[in-house]
Amino acid sequence: MQRRYRTIPDLKINESACTISISDAALACKLTAMGVLPGTRIEMVRTSPFGNAYYIKVDGVRIALREEEAASILLEI
Amino acid sequence: MQQVEDRTPRVALVGNPNSGKSTVFNLLTGLRQQTGNFPGVTVEIKKGRMRFPSGKEATLIDFPGTYSLYPTSSDEKLVAAVMCDPQNPFFPDALIYIADVTHLERHLLLLTQLLDLHLPVILALNMSDTALEMGIKVNTAKLIERLGIPVISISGRKEDNIQKLLYEVEKTLKNPIRTAENVFFYKLSDGEKQIADAVRHNLGIDNPYRALLLVHHRDWLPYLQRQQREILGTIAETKDFQSLRAQVDETLDRFDRFVPIVRDAIQQPPVFPSTATDRIDAVLTHRWWGPFIFVAVMLLIFQAIFDWSGYPMDAIENGFGILSDGVQSTLGEGWFTELLTDGILAGFSGILVFVPQIALLFLLIAILEEVGYMARVVFMFDKTMRRFGMNGRSVISLISGSACAVPAIMSSRTIGNWQERLITVMVTPFISCSARIPVYLVLIGLAVPAVKVAGILSAQTLVFGSMYALGVIAALLSGWAMKKWLRTREPSFLAIELPEYRMPHWKNVWLSVWEKVLAFVSGAGKIILVVSIVLWALSRYGPGDSIALATEQAHTEAIAMRLDSNQTEDFVQQRRLEASFAGKMGKSFEPLIRPLGYDWKIGIALLTSFAAREVFTGTLAVLYNMGSEEGDINNRDENEAKATLRSKMKTETFSDTGKPVYSLATAMSLLVFYALAMQCFSTLAVVKRETGSWKWAALQFFAMSLLAYFGAWAVYEIFS
């Protein structure tokens, strides 16, 4: 079956998409408290120098996420 | 309810990270700050005295920045622990909630949680100056009406409206405005209501949101008794309570409720154009440039420290030398004078001499932090550090460790995951701190020829640099080993906000340096002083009348050897030290350190440098009988003193084999030993406090000592 969502690692640099939900419960707690809510638009800014971390922008706020954190944020296609 | 009138009222300062909270704290309290240990949780809390326009005072408590009452680090847990517990000695009579008005839509979650606990809160909309520049207009009257609490626009950086804030706080203390008993921001779900009811019946907690928080946090809240924990556990189980899921649902529900209020009150919504921060980050966090710039910044910092801190250090040492001589000439000879000069003054000198270096390093770190660069370092090196069992935030602790491990270990509190924090605490002392530098300098000067390698680099600089590299490698490899050994399943987060770059706020920078230096002086200092006095006693007194006998014998021998009065004095001093407790101890473990190439004199020096590593050079100076010849150790031209010490050390031979003690092999072995060994009682005390048990401190001591021993042994074997 084809996936009905993308995640942050699927985004190209400067591409953005709206969040659907966060799949990991513990992380969802942390990220929702930081304001990464379902329906907010996430922009991919760059990956970290040694890979495995992402620099994203949410409503003008810059946030750094690990790969597994970024991968648990489900985005609209 | 406690009576506010009987004691100084307590005001809490709360808010999200990056809300400018610490600027407001520094503004309201100035230097009237102190840190105290928070009971039950291993987190230090900052308190300060604030004065109202009326002249009355209150204690302002600075709580760690957090997004919500569902914490992910021990720093953040503190906020939830205090707010849930009205009996807590830090439980506030009023709260100032700092929110960044330019990001108001995401800064009010914690506020709504605090309101549901029915705490009297004042909302301070910070950064109103930036908001004005961005064209954001806030209708505070609307916020006051909808939230039902006082709301004030302020600017911590421009110091705008601070008097008004103080006035409002005093008014609230006199007449606390609390949300009505039955009004809640968040409507509990049916399941949550049943749970809150059950908690009220069993534990007598009336506020349903507080009851709910107790169930969420039952496993770690420090003040709960075992029986209460069990009751809460049973309630959660019978109601099939899913804590994480409930937290997310609650958070989303709260956002749904307060975001419309914020949108309604903000007349011109913020737009976020591409700013200078984006352009700077395009370079500073660039794939290739980022790490390169980081290394360059670090090299510049260390260069600055070595170039600048020498002068104040010399001044302090000379000052203490003069003071010590003064004491000696006014009081005359005797045990009390010796206690003062060799015990107490030497101890103080050993503490204060490091202050310039530590202050300078923490000044530069504080600037990097204030500017916003440290968050980028965390982002860039998170992956690298995770390989070694730590996380990006550990980089800050490790860098701080090159000044002093004591404040460095304390800065690990922002690391949420217990295992990553523990590993950071355990490996930070491997980083070469300021106290190792004097030892390195003497030993390198002794063993490494002053030649150039490949025509440019001096061999001595190269060895000096390798000692730092050895520390970093040892830290990373031990981290890796601990990661393999520990393995917990506790979740670990990076999820860090990268704040907008801004000019450092100098008040914050100075206060941070002040705080770190104070942590060193009071944390490390006290212990250095005590150990220094104990060591003085150990080297002044011996078992039975051994000292008296040694003195007598030395005098007789000195006459036989036709020594002049100065030489006699040195010779006697040396023999007395040999006969003292310290001397006996050094001799008794000579067999143990012989494989590393050390004689008993080095043994005593190792023992004494447990107080502070730089005592090593001082002890050797006494042992190699160079006391009065060159004057007091503190009171000479330093290079000359080191040169003399070096020449004495070079002629030293083993009594049984007649071979020189200080071969290249011994010096290299000692260097490695000092780079790796845990020789700092103050650090162990801080490790005990931060990890909550002596177990980890003991493990650290034995593991580092063994590593140092075998490392030094191996190096000795290779070079000899």
Tell me what percent of the residues of chain B surpass a pLDDT of 70. 90
Question: How wide is the angle at C-alpha A23 spanned by C-alphas A18 and A28, nearest 5°?
Answer: 80
pTM of the model: 0.84
Which residues of chain A make contact with B494, given a CB cutoff of 8 A?
53, 64-66, 69
Helix (H, G, I), strand (E, B) or coil at B367: helix
Its CATH class, for the domain covering B10-174, is: alpha beta
- Mean pLDDT along residues B128-157: 91
Question: Does residue B646 carry a pLDDT above 70?
Answer: no
- Tell me, what amino acid is at A38? P
- Return mean pLDDT, chain A: 90
Indicate the pLDDT class of residue B655, thresholds 50, 70 and 90. low
Contact A67, A9 (CB under 8 A): yes
- B249 CA to centre of own chain: 37
- What ipTM was assigned to the predicted interfaces of this complex? 0.95
State whether A34 and B491 contact (CB < 8 Å). no
- Mean pLDDT along residues B632-658: 60
For the structural domain made of A6-75, what CATH number should be given? Answer: 2.30.30.90
At residue B626, the pLDDT reads 43
At residue B467, the pLDDT reads 92
Question: Does residue B673 carry a pLDDT above 90?
Answer: yes
Q: Which of B68, B281, B382 sits opposite A33 (nearest CB)?
A: B68
A65 touches chain B (CB under 8 A): yes
Classify B612 in phi/psi space as left (phi over 0), alpha (psi -120 to 50) or beta. beta
State whether A46 and B245 contact (CB < 8 Å). no
State whether B491 and A47 contact (CB < 8 Å). no
Which residues, including other chains, have CB under 8 Å from residue B65's CB and lie 6 or more apart? B15, B16, B17, B18, B19, B21
pLDDT (tens digit per residue) in A58-76: 988 899 999 989 999 999 9
pLDDT (tens digit per residue) in B288-299: 999 999 999 998
Residue B560 is given by DSSP the state H
At residue B627, the pLDDT reads 41
Residue contacts between A and B (CB atoms, under 8 Å):
120
Nearest alpha carbon to residue B100 among B371, B512, B497 = B497
Q: How many CA atoms lie within 13 A of B554 on its CB side?
A: 21
Q: How near does any CA of chain B get to the CA of A25, in Å?
A: 6
Contact B157, B131 (CB under 8 A): no
A37 touches chain B (CB under 8 A): yes
Q: Which of B103, B286, B382 sits opposite A61 (nearest CB)?
A: B103
Which residues of chain A make contact with B272, given a CB cutoff of 8 A?
57, 59-60
Distance of alpha carbon B478 from alpha carbon B485, whole angstroms: 10
pLDDT (tens digit per residue) in B292-350: 999 999 988 888 777 787 788 888 888 888 888 888 888 887 888 888 887 788 778 87
Distance of alpha carbon B573 from alpha carbon B627, whole angstroms: 8
- What are the φ/ψ torsions at residue B270 (nearest 5 degrees)? -70, 145
Contact B270, B105 (CB under 8 A): no
Q: Is B504 exposed, middle or buried (0-12, 13-18, 19+ CB in 10 A)?
A: middle
Q: How many CA atoms lie within 13 A of A74 on its CB side?
A: 11
Nearest-CA residue of chain A relative to B245?
A: A25
Nearest alpha carbon to residue B642 among B616, B609, B664 = B616
Mutate to test the interface with B, among A8, A50, A56, A69 (most CBs of B within 10 A): A50
A39 touches chain B (CB under 8 A): no
pLDDT (tens digit per residue) in B418-464: 899 999 999 999 999 888 888 888 788 777 777 777 777 788 888 88
- Mean pLDDT along residues B171-200: 88
A59 touches chain B (CB under 8 A): yes
Sketch the domain layout of chain B as residue ranges.
Answer: 10-174, 190-241, 274-305, 525-719
Nearest alpha carbon to residue B216 among B72, B95, B119 = B72
Q: How near does any CA of chain B get to the CA of A1, in Å?
A: 27
Q: Which of A22, A48, A61 sits opposite B379 (nearest CB)?
A: A48
Indicate the pLDDT class of residue B151, thresholds 50, 70 and 90. very high
Angle, to 10 degrees, between the axis of helix B615-623 and the axis of helix B436-447? 50
Mutate to test the interface with A, among B110, B251, B280, B289 (most CBs of A within 10 A): B251
Nearest-CA residue of chain A relative to B113?
A: A33
pLDDT (tens digit per residue) in B699-712: 999 999 999 999 99
Residue B17 is given by DSSP the state T
Q: In B474-575, where do the E strands start and end?
A: 496-497
